[in-house]
Amino acid sequence: MCVDLTGVSSLVGLSSGGFTTGQAALKAASSKVTKHEKACIENQHVFIPFAFDTFGFLASEAVELLSRVQRVMHSNVLTPRFTDAVFKRIGFAIQKGLAAQLVARLPSTTM
């Protein structure tokens, strides 16, 4: 399985039309599928675009992946505490990705 984690601002592209929640995330997910799916399939992997926006919208593939992880955790893990720890780590990974994107967009200062 290949997973591409993509977080986008919900405000991207506002000047070009009306605002629809999730539109930027869905566009990013579609773009990632176009870019990466063929290479993953050639290597006998499934490609999943895990796209979300800053307003909390999750693309359907992201929701499906989290639901799948939850089902596996419930059927194989004895303690809710361990399941909670796994989802906290997933949340941390998402936050870390967002932070990296924000830092990359900061203007560089030269002295």
Q: Domain range spanning residue 94?
A: 2-105
In a domain, 52, yes or no: yes
Model confidence band, residue 37 (pLDDT cutoffs 50, 70, 90):
very high
State the CB neighbour count (10 A cutoff) for residue 101.
13
Is 31 among the domain residues?
A: yes
Say if 34 falls within a structural domain: yes
Answer whether residue 111 is part of any domain. Answer: no
Q: Is the pLDDT of residue 110 over 60?
A: no
Q: What is the pLDDT of residue 78?
A: 67
**Hunting for tokens 């830092």 — which residue is that?**
103
The pTM assigned to this predicted structure is: 0.71
* Per-residue confidence (pLDDT) for residue 17, from 0 to 100: 66
Helices (H) and strands (E) in the chain, counts: 3, 2
Residues 23, 9: contact at Cβ < 8 Å? no
Cα separation, 70 vs 76, whole angstroms: 10
Number of domains in the chain: 1
The reply to whether 35 falls in a domain is yes
* Residue 110 belongs to some domain of the structure: no
Give me the chain's average pLDDT, please. 84
Question: For the segment 45-86, what is each residue's pLDDT rounded down to a tens digit?
Answer: 999 999 988 888 889 999 999 898 888 888 887 687 888 888
In a domain, 10, yes or no: yes
37 falls within a domain: yes
- Output phi, psi for 79, to 5 deg: -115, 135
Q: What is the mean pLDDT of residues 82-96?
A: 85
Give the pLDDT score at 40. Answer: 95
